[in-house]
Structure 1
């Protein structure tokens, strides 16, 4: 599996319009907690169904897009944070130590 970087505001609308499941990982490149959460998620991401689109946002470089994501999917901004999007709606958001590939897989597979 591989991250698709979010670098343009238009990508948020594209994610919202996709059918199926997408995951957005909002990451602070200046935060050791965020680095740890990302590393732990990536170690376990083999449990995520293959047809899930995985998106990565460097929220330090793209703060405006981070705010757009929070507004579009009606979630409180946190970092690190994952959002699972299904057919345009956020069905799971988690932050910090609550970020779990197993939980994401469970939600997607249910």
Structure 2
């Protein structure tokens, strides 16, 4: 069985799973805090639809590729459960809603945003 696993890319060793320091964004009041914190530290907001296969795929890729050494706060929004927060993000930071979506906030404003597959192409280190 080991030969077949090696031949087809399988492994008997469990993969070490990376856990990201997500902060759940569940309350509109948190947006003021994000804007204030962004004056000294870059804030990232990931908007995710738990019912969308593309959003799930992009999120998984993001988590795999994310550099844990980045000095940022990383927020997660389950937009289906907190739609009002998701909508307010768009108003407050002047970003049209998309899903999945990554928004980079510095000095109280969105300095970059992207969606879908382009999320994983963004060089986040340029915003830190």
Structure 2 length-normalised TM = 0.78
Deviation of 1:13 (Å)? 1.0
Deviation of 1:43 (Å)? 0.5
Give the Cα–Cα distance (whole angstroms) in 2 for the partners of residues 96 and 31 of structure 1: 11
Contact 1:28–1:58 (8 Å) recurs in 2: yes
Give the Cα–Cα distance (whole angstroms) in 2 for the partners of residues 16 and 29 of structure 1: 25
Structure 1 length-normalised TM = 0.90
Aligned CA distance change for structure 1 residues 101 and 12 (closer, same or farther; 3 Å): farther
Residue in 1 aligned with 2:82?
62
Matched, 1:20 2:41: yes
Residue in 2 aligned with 1:40?
61
Report Cα offsets for 1:68-104 as digits up to 9, x if no partner: 0000000100000000001211111000011026522
Matched, 1:4 2:23: yes
Deviation of 1:40 (Å)? 0.5
Q: Which runs of 5+ in 1 are unaligned?
A: none
Aligned CA distance change for structure 1 residues 79 and 102 (closer, same or farther; 3 Å): closer
Higher relative contact order (CA 8 A, sep 6+): 1
Aligned length: 107
Q: Which runs of 5+ in 2 are unaligned?
A: 1-19
